[in-house]
Amino acid sequence: MYNIFKRITDIIISVTLIIVLLPIFFIIAIVILILYGSPVFYYQERMGKNWKPFKIIKFRTMITNVEHMGLNITSLDDERITPFGKILRKFKLDELPQFFNVLKGDMSLIGPRPEIIKFVNYYEDDYNAILKIKPGITDYAAIKFRNEEDIIPRKDPEKFYLDNILPSKIILYKKYIIEIGFFTDMKILFNTIKRLAL
């Protein structure tokens, strides 16, 4: 029953926010086009519910053709991130297009953050449980690791992420699955807004 309520809530909130934030979408898109050219959006394959891959959408914050440079993790002062991209990332504005992922049904507003397929396969046993629900825009882990780029070293960033950050995220993902419900979602939503306001 809650899954139906959650989906209806996702649709209503996503549509409302897309309409309200449309001017901001437009401004960000124009700035990216003027400063760096196309494309405006960045698509990356992530693993979704029931091991079904989908394309997550973000505003582009890095130089073009970055997908051919190997690394999937960004660290502090990553040279691939554009100056405007750093601003978008700091205030999480690059993630605004993910409301379209929610509207499409690939994601929910609240849920474990979707990971790239390579990292999911690395912790396959854990993700067998995590991927029983839709990934989300925010959750316990997204709040705790809001500024994870600041703690990821430039040397071997993927190894550091896999060995030190993702295991902690997985614990929080499982915590959410155990506690999933209306009041949990409201608590996460409130704490997300509070952290973004700081």
DSSP letters for 57-81: EEE--B-TTGGGSS-----TT-TTB
The answer to whether 33 and 116 have CB atoms below 8 angstroms apart is no
* Residue among 60, 104, 99, 102 at smallest CA distance from 82: 60
Query: For residue 115, what pLDDT band results from cuts at 50, 70 and 90?
Result: very high
pLDDT at residue 161 above 90? yes
SS (H, E, C) 87-112: HHHHCCHHHCCHHHHHHHCCCEEECC
Buried b (16+ CB within 10 A) or exposed e, 134-170: bbbbbbbbbeebbebbeebeeeebbebbbeebbeebb
- State residue 67's pLDDT score: 58
- CA–CA separation, 197 vs 91, rounded Å? 9
- State residue 74's pLDDT score: 82
Q: Tally the domains of the chain.
A: 1
Note down the domain range covering 155.
2-197
- State residue 68's pLDDT score: 55
Higher pLDDT, 59 or 69: 59
Two structure tokens written together for 87: 């601003």
- State residue 155's pLDDT score: 85
> CA 32, 97, 99 angle in degrees (round to 5)?
165
- State residue 198's pLDDT score: 65
Give the three-state DSSP class for 40.
coil
Strand (E) or helix (H) holding 55: strand 53-59
Mean pLDDT of 100-124: 97
- CA–CA separation, 75 vs 152, rounded Å? 5
Give the three-state DSSP class for 113.
coil
Q: What is the pLDDT of residues 12-28, one digit of tens each?
A: 999 999 999 999 999 99
pLDDT at residue 79 above 60? yes
50 DSSP 8-state letter: G
* pTM (2 d.p.): 0.92
Give me the phi and psi of 29, to 5 degrees please.
Answer: -60, -45
Query: For residue 69, what pLDDT band results from cuts at 50, 70 and 90?
Result: low
